[in-house]
Amino acid sequence: MKSKKANMEMEQQIIYPKKKRKIKVFDVILILFFILFSFLILIPLWKVLVDSFDLHTAYGMKLVPKNFGIEGYRNVFTNPTLYRPLIISVVTTIAGTLLGLTLSTLGAYVLIQREMPGRSFFGNMLLFTMIFQGGMIPTYLVINSLGLTNTLWSVILMPGLNVYNLVLMRNFFEGIPHSLFESAEIDGCSPMGIFFKIVLPLSKAALAAIGLMFAVSYWNDYTNYKLYITDSLWYNFQMKLRSIIMGSDLPIPNGGATENTIKNAAIMVAILPFMFIYPFCQKYFVKGVNIGAVKE
């Protein structure tokens, strides 16, 4: 069997020889450009990584740390001036992402209900807010009048309703065959039952993509903290990291680590979480970025 198969493959190659793809000059230039671009990205990241493990690091480029140690990271996770902002960032990111996904999925599910009166009106009103917003000062006055300033609610609730993500989720839900909804209704399933048993299980790609968008925005949030948080006790890790980089709020080193080592370790802690998370969500994210791109 193997010999017959090999003979057939040889005959096909003789009859239909494979054409060798010619390497064009543009392809070579493109490959060299991407290699150079990758090095430009990786070299600064490698320097920060090496300096974060070098206990007596100084300015300059080194391939490996001369005095290896993890005291910089130990300071980040044990020093109260860094540990508390890190916990605040983790809490706000998890709570905000869950809130954002809840509002986006429920709002999108409501907007795909064809029998709901005023569905187009509410959809257009949401789209209107993407173009015209209240502005920074009126928003601050509203937050202040509600007593949310200097509380974590101001930085969790504000970004929780993202109309762009809601519209993406609605477009994804509209791609689910309506016959599934009708079949579930015939079987006696309630609207919320359809949502939890049919819509959500079929929306893993959209949930992963939009959840990643929410998580990144919450983790890297700086503007909302700058506007609504004046008490440094409630600063997140990004605010604290800026203060450290600017040299205005350097933590006291412990265990032999230098201030520069702690700075680089803090930068790596701010970068690493989503560097580890993204590879696991990549296949869902690639599907999710095309949500609503094609309508059949």
User: Is 78-288 assigned to CATH 1.10.3720.10?
Assistant: yes
* Model confidence band, residue 50 (pLDDT cutoffs 50, 70, 90): confident
The secondary structure of residue 54, as a DSSP letter, is B
Residue 32 predicted with pLDDT over 70? yes
8 Å CB contact between 165 and 207: no
pLDDT for the residue numbered 20: 60
8 Å CB contact between 170 and 108: yes
Residue 191 predicted with pLDDT over 90? no
pLDDT for the residue numbered 287: 61
> Residue 133 is which amino acid?
Q
Q: How far is CA 160 from CA 164, 216, 251, in A?
A: 11, 13, 32
Buried b (16+ CB within 10 A) or exposed e, 139-177: eeeebeeeebbebbbbbbbbbbebbebbbbbbbbbeeee
Determine which of 57-71, 115-129, 184-198, 206-220 has the lowest per-residue pLDDT on average: 57-71
Token pair 């993204």 in the structure block, residue: 278
User: Which residue intervals of the chain are DSSP H helices?
Assistant: 2-15, 25-53, 71-78, 80-111, 119-131, 136-145, 153-157, 163-174, 178-186, 191-194, 204-219, 223-228, 237-245, 259-288
Query: What residues pair up with 54 in beta bridges, in sequence order?
Result: 68
Q: Tell me what the pLDDT averaged over the chain comes to.
A: 80
Q: Which are the contacts of 243, defined by CB distance < 8 A and separation ≥ 6?
A: 235, 249
- Cα(271)–Cα(225) distance, integer angstroms: 19
* Model confidence band, residue 94 (pLDDT cutoffs 50, 70, 90): very high
Task: Give the domain ranges of the chain.
Answer: 21-69, 78-288
The model carries a pTM of 0.77
Length of the chain: 296
Long-range contacts at 83-86 (CB < 8 A, ≥ 24 apart):
84/233, 85/235, 85/236, 85/237, 85/239, 85/240, 86/237, 86/269
Query: What residues pair up with 68 in beta bridges, in sequence order?
Result: 54
SS3 68: strand
Token pair 């937050």 in the structure block, residue: 143
Token pair 């007593």 in the structure block, residue: 147
8 Å CB contact between 212 and 278: yes
Residue 134 predicted with pLDDT over 80? no
Q: Is 236 left (phi over 0), alpha (psi -120 to 50) or beta?
A: beta
- 2-31 residue pLDDT tens: 465 555 665 555 554 555 666 677 778 888
Q: What percent of the chain has pLDDT over 90?
A: 7
Q: What percent of the chain has pLDDT over 70?
A: 82
- Cα(52)–Cα(264) distance, integer angstroms: 5
* Model confidence band, residue 218 (pLDDT cutoffs 50, 70, 90): very high
